[in-house]
Structure 1
């Protein structure tokens, strides 16, 4: 899953996000979703989330759904 649909991104999911500073390089940052920040049902660049460590970025890939 690529993280463009809000319904696919769940709180607690293990994801890889692209931070604003890493948009040019495409470097991925792994973490767990703490909060969904995008309100619309879809976004072409990925749903914006806050990770449990406070970092904010757009979901590039959903690695694991929460159990």
Structure 2
């Protein structure tokens, strides 16, 4: 999944995000979602999330687990 729909992203999900300072290069950072920061049901650049380590960025790839 590409992380553009809020329904596909949830706390505890492992994701790749693009941090604000990495938007030009497209460098990805992997982590686990702590909070969803985008309120709308979808966003063309990816749902904005806060990872468990405090980093904030937009989801570009998700890695679903068996249990939601």
Query: Do the structures match in fold with TM over 0.5?
Result: yes
Aligned residue runs from structure 1 range 16-55, under 5 A: 16-55=16-55
Q: TM-score, normalised by structure 2?
A: 0.94
CA deviation digits over 1:7-52, x for unaligned, max 9?
Answer: 0001100000000000000000000000000000000000000000
**CA-based RMSD:** 1.0
Could you list the runs of 4 or more consecutive aligned residues of structure 1 that deviate by over 2 angstroms after TM superposition? Answer: 64-67
Give the aligned length. 67
Consecutive unaligned residues in structure 1, runs of 5 or more:
none
Q: TM-score, normalised by structure 1?
A: 0.96
2:66 & 2:25 partners in 1: Cα distance? 28
